[in-house]
Amino acid sequence: MPRPQAEPRAGTYPIDTGVAELTPDTIAGGWLLTVNGAQSSHIHPDPTVLDFEYMRQMTALIADRFPLDTPLRVLHLGAAACALPRFIAARYPAAKQVAVEIDGELARLSREWFDLPRAPRLRIRVGDAREVVTSLTGHTRDVIVRDAFAGARTPDHLTSTGFLQQVHRVLAPGGLYLANCGDNRDLALARAEVSTAAGVFAHVALVADAAMFKGRRTGNIVLAASDHPIIATPELVRTLLSDPQPAQMLDGPRARDFGSGAVITDAPTAG
């Protein structure tokens, strides 16, 4: 007999990497999870409602490539409360997903609080995202999503050429890599990430709102990479523009030109 779902309760909770806070969202509904003061997840009673715009942008890119009846194999690097895996499970009933979360206590609490799909539809694996990717068999995932942060920044070892080479190895032909690139107004990190991805994948594309592309605010840019073309189709453009936070897409040479030319490499190991 399945264990009853625990009700989420507002409060502050110690976790392995610091402190998590769960608060009710009295405007949009659902719950907001912050980790060490940074907004980490928003869980709505309806799993197809995503409050974070970058997640809606990611789902638009996925839907443009994969029909809803596709038995997607998805790897999430960074899980928190699993808002995006929950959405994909609702829209792609045949999908099988693994979400990697470095904080074991946060993973446990998320399972306890929220109606997350059970294995094999969604497995939560505790560990370091890069170590997990490196351990996987090649060509076994259709979508890999990187949404991992330590504070406001993605850990360096999840941005480098060496990391992306492992992602490339694990993706199946036609697979799609999506990365949430958080950056400030100078966009230096996002531009370096684009150059790094363009050195590993044949095609890159970017999605964000106009203010983010122009360096007018701190926020998120979605980086998409694949060995198959990623094209701003009319349907995809309409979806992005009709969002409550309208977004633009750069593809082809415009996306590559966004890169700074600087490539992120792994730090040399001692000894």
- The model's pLDDT over 222-234, given as tens digits with 9 standing for 90+, comes to 999 999 999 999 9
Residue 124 lies in a domain: yes
What are the distances in angstroms from CA 35 to CA 20, 107, 157, 182?
4, 12, 20, 16
What is the residue range of 196's domain?
A: 50-258
Residue 39 lies in a domain: no
Mean pLDDT of 241-260: 97
- Alpha-carbon gap, residue 53 to 83, rounded angstroms: 12
Tell me the pLDDT of the chain averaged across its residues. Answer: 95
Per DSSP, the three-state class of 165 is helix
CATH label of the domain that carries residue 133: 3.40.50.150
Predicted local distance difference test score (pLDDT) of residue 261: 87
Residue 9 lies in a domain: no
Residue 29 lies in a domain: no
Per DSSP, the three-state class of 46 is coil
The residues, any chain, with a CB within 8 Å of residue 238's CB and separated by 6 or more, are none
Percent of the chain past pLDDT 90, that is, above it, reads 93
- The model's pLDDT over 114-142, given as tens digits with 9 standing for 90+, comes to 999 999 999 999 999 999 999 999 999 99
pTM score: 0.96
Residue 270 lies in a domain: no
Contact status, residue 262 vs residue 195, Cβ threshold 8 Å:
yes
If you count DSSP H runs as helices and E runs as strands, how many of each does the chain have, helices first? 9, 12
In this predicted structure, the answer to whether residue 83 has a pLDDT above a threshold of 60 is yes
- Alpha-carbon gap, residue 183 to 191, rounded angstroms: 10
| Structural domain total, the chain | 1
- Among 7, 86, 100, smallest CA distance to 48 is for 86
- The model's pLDDT over 28-43, given as tens digits with 9 standing for 90+, comes to 999 999 999 999 999 9
Residue 30 lies in a domain: no
The residues, any chain, with a CB within 8 Å of residue 134's CB and separated by 6 or more, are 166
Query: 133: burial class by Cβ within 10 Å (0-12, 13-18, 19+)?
Result: buried
Alpha helices in the chain (DSSP H): 53-65, 83-91, 104-113, 129-135, 161-170, 188-198, 210-213, 234-241, 252-258
Residue 161 lies in a domain: yes
Contact status, residue 181 vs residue 147, Cβ threshold 8 Å:
no
Residue 253 lies in a domain: yes
In this predicted structure, the answer to whether residue 1 has a pLDDT above a threshold of 60 is no
In this predicted structure, the answer to whether residue 71 has a pLDDT above a threshold of 90 is yes
